């Protein structure tokens, strides 16, 4: 196996940087890749620098900097990560719209003396869920499904309050 | 026959996710070699496509990384995060459905023995 030394590493890092690879992680990934290729293909005594010049050509089409450009492009245009999937959102919407009415009915039944305390306790917990859904959506607008209309967030927030009032 | 980069580009993330799901943790060179081996050299992932995609996946929280130092150089191992595991299932399912649709669209009959 060809021995890679610190001079080789410094040379590669300098060359990557000079040719437009500025992201440190990307530099390290490419450095490791090149070193593995050299260790695989070169015999002891071979010229690392000549090998590097030819090997690096297979990494790009026109210029090395296109790897950096592609990385930045993908980081800029990556798909927003969703905290709520569409199905969970619809479940939440159902609970928000119907929950207060169920809670009201249960409260009415309790007043009539027909519900045990455990059910009433459960209802209290259940009533918190719409507000939790609203909080999550309000605090993480960048993680909300962009296909859903913005107005839905407003509806979600105010519907249970209006219902309770 | 080596598949064109245009074909591979749209499926690269799915390939990487599935590979990491099957192999726990891998580094860049290992990934390119594994893909060549499994595909019989028909899919050749270039370094210029691989590393930007891995970086984007890391930023998306689909993969986690751990670093190993080999002298002065650093080797980065990638493995799937819980979100990555969920994404793998979704992407593989989606690609499978897409392939079936393409077979219908292009009127490709499955080969029978």
Q: A55 φ, ψ to 5°?
A: -65, -40
Q: Among B48, B54, B72, whose Cβ lies nearest the Cβ of A60?
A: B48
More confident: B17 or A76: B17
Question: How many alpha carbons fall within 13 Å on the CB side of residue A53?
Answer: 3
3-state secondary structure string, chain A? CCCCCHHHHHHHHHHHHHCCCCCHHHHHHHHHHHHHHHHHHCCCCCCHHHHHHHHHHHHCCCCCHHHHHHHHHHHHCCCCCCCCCHHHHHHHHHHHHHHHHHHHHHHHHHHCCCCCHHHHHHHHHHHHHHHHHHHHHHHCHHHCCCCCCCHHHHHHHHHHHHHHC
- Whether B29 sits inside 8 A of A58 (CB atoms) is no
Query: To the nearest whole angstrom, how far is the Cα of B55 from the nearest Cα of chain A?
Result: 7
Spatial contact of B32 and B53, defined as CB atoms under 8 Å apart: no
Interface contact A29-B52, CB threshold 8 A: no
Bridge partner list, B76: B67
Q: Is B64 exposed, middle or buried (0-12, 13-18, 19+ CB in 10 A)?
A: middle
Distance CA A113, CA A91 (A): 31
Could you tell me how many residues make up chain B?
Answer: 113
Helix (H), strand (E) counts: chain B:
5, 3
Look at residue A146 in the predicted model and tell me its pLDDT.
Answer: 45
In this predicted structure, the answer to whether residue A147 has a pLDDT above a threshold of 50 is no
CA gap B41, B36 in Å, rounded: 4
Q: Does B71 touch chain A (CB under 8 A)?
A: yes
Which positions in chain A touch B71 (Cβ < 8 Å)? 4, 6, 9
Give residue B78's pLDDT band: very low, low, confident or very high (50, 70, 90).
very high
pLDDT of residue A135: 72
Residue to test with chain B: of A19, A32, A82, most B Cβ within 10 A: A32
Residue A150 in tokens: 């913005």
ipTM above 0.90, yes or no: no
CB pairs under 8 A between A and B: 73
* A25 shares contact with chain B (CB less than 8 Å): yes
Q: How far is A159 from chain B (nearest CA, A)?
A: 32
- Grade residue A86 by pLDDT with cuts at 50, 70 and 90: low
Residue B65 CB coordination number (10 Å) = 16
What pTM value is reported for the model?
A: 0.67
What does the pLDDT look like over B20-64, one tens digit per residue? Answer: 999 989 999 999 999 999 999 889 899 999 999 999 999 988 999
């Amino acid at each position: 196996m060809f021995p890679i030394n610190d001079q080789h590493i410094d040379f590669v890092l300098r060359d990557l940087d000079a040719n437009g690879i500025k992201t440190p992680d990307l530099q390290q990934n490419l450095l490791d890749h090149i070193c593995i290729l050299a260790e695989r293909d070169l015999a002891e005594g071979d010229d690392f620098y000549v090998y590097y010049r030819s090997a690096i050509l297979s990494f790009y089409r026109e210029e090395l900097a296109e790897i950096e450009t592609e990385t930045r492009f993908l980081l800029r245009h990556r798909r927003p990560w969703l905290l709520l999937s569409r199905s969970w959102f619809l479940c939440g919407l159902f609970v928000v719209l119907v929950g207060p009415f169920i809670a009201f009915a249960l409260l009415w039944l309790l007043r009539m003396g027909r519900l045990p305390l455990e059910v009433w306790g459960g209802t209290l917990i259940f009533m918190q869920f719409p507000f939790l859904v609203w909080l999550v959506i309000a605090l993480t607008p960048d993680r909300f499904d962009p296909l859903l209309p913005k107005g839905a967030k407003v509806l979600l927030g105010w519907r249970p309050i209006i219902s309770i009032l | 026959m080596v598949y064109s980069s245009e074909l591979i580009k749209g499926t690269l993330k799915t390939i990487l996710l599935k590979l990491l799901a099957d192999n726990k943790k891998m580094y860049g060179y290992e990934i390119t070699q594994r893909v060549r081996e499994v595909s019989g050299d028909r899919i050749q992932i270039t370094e210029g496509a691989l590393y930007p995609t891995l970086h984007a996946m890391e930023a998306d929280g689909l993969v986690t990384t751990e670093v190993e130092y080999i002298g002065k150089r650093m080797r980065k191992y990638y493995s799937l995060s819980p979100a990555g595991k969920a994404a793998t299932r979704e992407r593989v399912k989606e690609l499978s459905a897409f392939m079936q649709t393409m077979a219908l669209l292009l009127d490709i009959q499955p080969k029978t023995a």
